[in-house]
Amino acid sequence: MKQHQIAMLGAGFISDFYAMTLHSQRSRDQVRIVSSRDEARGKAFCERWGVPDSTTDMAAAVNHPEVDVVVIGLPNYVHADAVELAAKAGKAVLCTKPLGRTATEARAMLEAVEQAGVFGGYLEDLCYTPKTLKAVRAVRSGAIGEVTWVRSRETHPGPHSAWFWDGRLTGGGAIVDLGCHCIEIIRNYVGKGVRPVEVMCHADTLVHPIADEDNAVALIKFENGAIGQFEVSWTFRGGMDLRDEVAGTAGTIWTNHFLRTGFEMFTAGTAGGYVAEKAESEKGWLFPVGDEVVELGYVDMFSDMFRALEAGAPPQETFYDGYVVNAVMDASFRSAKSGRWEPVELFEWRGGVAPRIGSGAQPEMYEGKVVIKREILPDGRHKLILKDPASGDFEDRVVTAG
């Protein structure tokens, strides 16, 4: 089995998670060199994760002769330059979310890897949480029928680093930071072959003295009639809240990924220390996470990326997926300004045409009338709501059996 040598671009918070995963999960891939603008920070990263070399020169890291994979854990405004370097070097490139600050920037990155013929993977970890993967498999199996509505929520007290708060560097506030996760989760449930067509979004700055949104809610309308809903906030108190809900014609799924998931602890002791990402307290009622790199999707994400790379196949999350996410976010920003539904503008749609939900399905009939709904009464009899197709009238009908 192939061992990959990795250039890690960035030595910050997300790169720590990436190195932790890479060095512990497959046990054969190695971060060979780390690039950081801060020399001391790069050397400290090497000490933490057993990385042989560090450099302040990003191009030198990318072009290291032993490196075959470049992992980008850099701020948003550096993604495009890093991808271009990797593509020119002929190296496989895995880029953290969001792919770009805008759809235009993301498209340029997509075209760079496709024109160079190199592997491009979009590191959208929350699409790989164990619960999400299992829930998506259930949806694909038909367990809940056709998906009609998906709600994805990510809220927390705000990002870790200063650059996140500067929209000139990021492309936006909570929508860019958190909405990218939610949008791609929604697309996985609705189906990536279903085109997102328009967005209605409300965004506001309620708490923090910044120029960009710290709260937003949006509706995404899909070609087949399905609706996606995302809720994002940098002002939620109490940790990080990650939840998804999926409604289908034959069932429902609820998932809670990070808060109130069955691990609760009260402490008045003096030990203190790290509890979980975005946790705000070391005392009182705490909600620890058993294994963050697993529960936040990093393990399955990198497994998928390297499996696809070795098989010469696309990963679950591609650069094109990252581009579509950016296009939906662009429409969200336009809608927040206009107060109207705004189209999702794509230079190319690669998903085909999706039929409308329920198309081709024949309604249930009872004595020549359409069954709108059926339910069981407390005494065991069945109640039907019926519609007369000739008159359009509705009626209740109680029958002894189904």
Contact by Cβ (8 Å): 317, 97: no
Pairing outcome for strands 265-267 and 284-286? antiparallel
Domain boundaries, the chain: 5-123, 127-264+291-343, 365-399
Total-model pTM: 0.92
CATH architecture of 5-123: 3-Layer(aba) Sandwich (3.40)
Instruction: List, as one string, the DSSP characters of 309-366.
Output: HHHT---SSBHHHHHHHHHHHHHHHHHHHHSS-EE---S---S---PPTTTTPPPPEE
Which residues, other chains included, contact 339 with Cβ-Cβ below 8 Å and sequence gap of 6+?
none
Backbone angles phi, psi at 298, to 5 degrees: -65, -40
Residue found by looking up tokens 């993604």 in the block:
79
Q: Which residues, in sequence order, are CB contacts of 214 under 8 Å at separation 6+?
A: 158, 173, 174, 204, 205, 206, 207, 208, 233, 234, 235
Distance of alpha carbon 172 from alpha carbon 337, whole angstroms? 13
**CA distance linking residue 42 with residue 76, whole number of Å:** 19
**39-49 helix and 13-24 helix, angle to the nearest 10 degrees:** 30
User: Could you tell me where the DSSP H helices lie in 173-261?
Assistant: 174, 180-190
Phi-psi region of 23 (alpha: psi -120 to 50; beta: other; left: phi over 0): alpha
Chosen CATH of 127-264+291-343 out of 3.90.1150.10, 3.30.360.10, 1.10.3720.10, 3.40.228.10 = 3.30.360.10
Q: Helices H, strands E: what count in the chain?
A: 12, 19
The conformation of residue 2, written as its DSSP 8-state character, comes to P
Q: Please list the pLDDT of the chain residue by residue as tens digits (402 residues).
A: 688 999 999 999 899 999 999 998 656 799 999 999 999 999 999 999 999 999 999 999 999 999 999 999 999 999 999 999 999 999 999 999 999 999 999 999 999 999 999 999 999 999 999 999 999 999 999 999 999 999 999 999 999 889 999 999 999 999 999 999 999 999 999 999 999 999 999 999 999 999 999 999 999 999 999 999 999 999 999 888 999 999 999 999 999 988 877 787 788 877 666 666 666 677 777 777 778 788 889 999 999 999 999 999 999 999 999 999 999 999 999 999 999 999 999 999 999 999 999 888 889 999 999 999 999 999 889 999 999 999 999 999 998 765
Torsion of CA 240, 246, 252, 255, to 10 degrees: -20
How far is C-alpha 207 from the geometric centre of its chain's CA atoms?
25
Question: Phi and psi (nearest 5°) for 287?
Answer: -125, 75
d(CA 391, CA 369): 10
* Structure tokens, 354: 């999706």
